[in-house]
Amino acid sequence: MITRDYFMIYCYYLSMIGFLLRKTFYDLWDNMLKIVLINLGFITLCTIPIFLPAFVAELFESQTPAIIVSAIGIMMCSIYLAAAAHSLKSISDYGSFSFTGFINNFKIAWPAGIMMGLFLFILFIVFTIVIPFYLRIESPVGLILGAIIFWTTIFALLSFQFYYTVCVRLGTNLKKAIRKSMLISMDNSGFAIFVFLHNTVALVFSVILAFLFPGPAGILLFLDEALRLRILKYDWLEANPEANRKKIPWDVLLMEEREKTGTRSFRNLIFPWKD
């Protein structure tokens, strides 16, 4: 039986999710050109790890140079996304950014980008080599180890999805960023799963539009918007240490955010100059 308290918690949570989706949509719509340009740069970089390794392997008749080229390409793409995350923060904060600032963000973002690149490379090895190896072992031990590694990897995915935006908003110390990403995922497990599912759907939708929109930039913007709301929650809990962590007053916390974001009609979205 659903009690009144649980119903109120559900309503507050649903209210926060609704605002997150609405604000992200408005920000994507208002900055569509910049989102497309960032995605276009990412797509261009992706040609290195996708197409160049096969050419290098055939040229040198060895897989080792191809693996090196793939690793370099993944690192470059990861650093690019880290710089993009720093720039997209300004959109989430009701501002904008210049592409000069975007280029300057590479100086700040490259360590976080390399760390994410290493994570993605390890993830690739785990899914293509490690898990299949244990599953091929015809024994309960192999199955158990494979399952443990699989679910550990899923937890890492749920945690690392916040990694870029944690580095942007909570500090660039890599060890602390990894730890905070894991803590946020564990403390907000339902929200972390929702964010992951949302980004999966956004990624599938991006395929239809050749990754130009919403694409990686749109997903990064959504993650930054999501973390902003989590920070509002933790700021409130810090100011109210005796409060029930399951009863976050989202309507109160989002009051100022809703005023800044506002609401729009379909006519206003298409013809904003007519209102």
- With beta carbons less than 8 A apart as the criterion, state whether 124 and 77 touch: no
Q: What are phi and psi of 228, to 5 degrees?
A: -55, -40
pLDDT band (50, 70, 90) for residue 5: low
Mean pLDDT of 159-180: 93
Residue-averaged pLDDT of the chain: 87
Domain chopping of the chain, boundaries: 4-238+245-253
pLDDT in tens, 216-255: 999 999 999 999 999 999 999 999 988 888 788 888 899 9
Mean pLDDT of 79-85: 96
pLDDT at residue 163, as a whole number: 96
- Residue 76 pLDDT more than 80? yes
The secondary structure of residue 139, as a DSSP letter, is S
User: How would you class 261 by CB atoms within 10 Å of its CB: exposed for 0-12, middle for 13-18, buried for 19 or more?
Assistant: middle
Q: Say how far apart CA 226 and CA 92 lie, in whole Å.
A: 10
Which position has the token pair 């918007």? 225
Q: Which letter, b or e, does each residue of 204-220 get, where b requires 16 or more Cβ atoms within 10 Å of its Cβ?
A: eebeeeebbbbbbbbbb
pLDDT at residue 274, as a whole number: 57
pTM of the complete model: 0.90
pLDDT at residue 1, as a whole number: 44
Mean pLDDT of 64-81: 85
Mean pLDDT of 61-74: 77
- With beta carbons less than 8 A apart as the criterion, state whether 233 and 248 touch: yes
pLDDT at residue 11, as a whole number: 53
- Residue 9 pLDDT more than 70? no
- With beta carbons less than 8 A apart as the criterion, state whether 133 and 86 touch: no
* pLDDT: which is higher, 119 or 267: 119
Q: Say how far apart CA 220 and CA 244 lie, in whole Å.
A: 30
- Residue 153: CB atoms within 10 A of its CB come to 16
Q: How far are the Cα atoms of 170, 232, 245, 250, 262 from residue 237, in angstroms, in the given order?
A: 17, 9, 7, 12, 26
- Report which of 194, 190, 214 is spatially closest to residue 203, judged by C-alpha positions: 214
- Report which of 88, 227, 232 is spatially closest to residue 161, judged by C-alpha positions: 227
- Residue 55 pLDDT more than 50? yes
Mean pLDDT of 158-165: 95
Give the range among 112-126, 179-193, 225-239 with minimum mean pLDDT: 112-126
pLDDT in tens, 99-113: 888 999 999 999 999
